[in-house]
Amino acid sequence: MIEIHSFKWPRRPTTVARACLLGEDGFGRWLGITKGDAWRAADHSHCGVFERSFIKLVPNGTFWTACFNVADPVVDVDIVLPVQWSDDTLEEIDLELAILRAANGGVRVRDREEFERVREAWAMPRGIAVQAVATCEQICALVEQGAEPFGNVGRMWLSRFLMGTGATCLAEAAAVFAAPAEAVSSQ
What is the 3 state secondary structure string of 115-130? HHHHHHHCCCCHHHHH
What's the mean pLDDT in 3-15?
Answer: 97
The whole-angstrom separation of Cα 38 and Cα 3 is: 11
Instruction: Name residue 29's beta-bridge partners.
Output: 24, 58
Band of residue 177 on the pLDDT scale cut at 50, 70, 90: very low
Report pTM.
Answer: 0.87
pLDDT at 151: 95
The whole-angstrom separation of Cα 6 and Cα 65 is: 12
In whole numbers, what is the pLDDT of the chain averaged over residues?
90
- State the fold for domain 2-176: FomD barrel-like fold (2.40.380)
The whole-angstrom separation of Cα 81 and Cα 142 is: 19
The whole-angstrom separation of Cα 18 and Cα 21 is: 10
CB 80 within 8 Å of CB 93: yes
- Mode of pairing for the β-strands spanning 2-8 and 89-101: parallel
Band of residue 185 on the pLDDT scale cut at 50, 70, 90: very low
SS3 183: coil
pLDDT at 164: 82
* Tens digit of each residue's pLDDT (9 = 90 or more) over 54-112: 999 999 999 999 999 999 999 999 999 999 999 999 999 999 999 999 999 999 999 99
The whole-angstrom separation of Cα 177 and Cα 39 is: 8
pLDDT at 176: 41
Band of residue 187 on the pLDDT scale cut at 50, 70, 90: very low
pLDDT at 41: 95
* Tens digit of each residue's pLDDT (9 = 90 or more) over 108-167: 999 999 999 999 999 999 999 999 999 999 999 999 999 999 999 999 999 999 998 554
The answer to whether residue 168 scores a pLDDT higher than 70 is no
Where do the structural domains in the chain lie, given as residue ranges? 2-176
Neighbours of 40 (CB within 10 A): 18
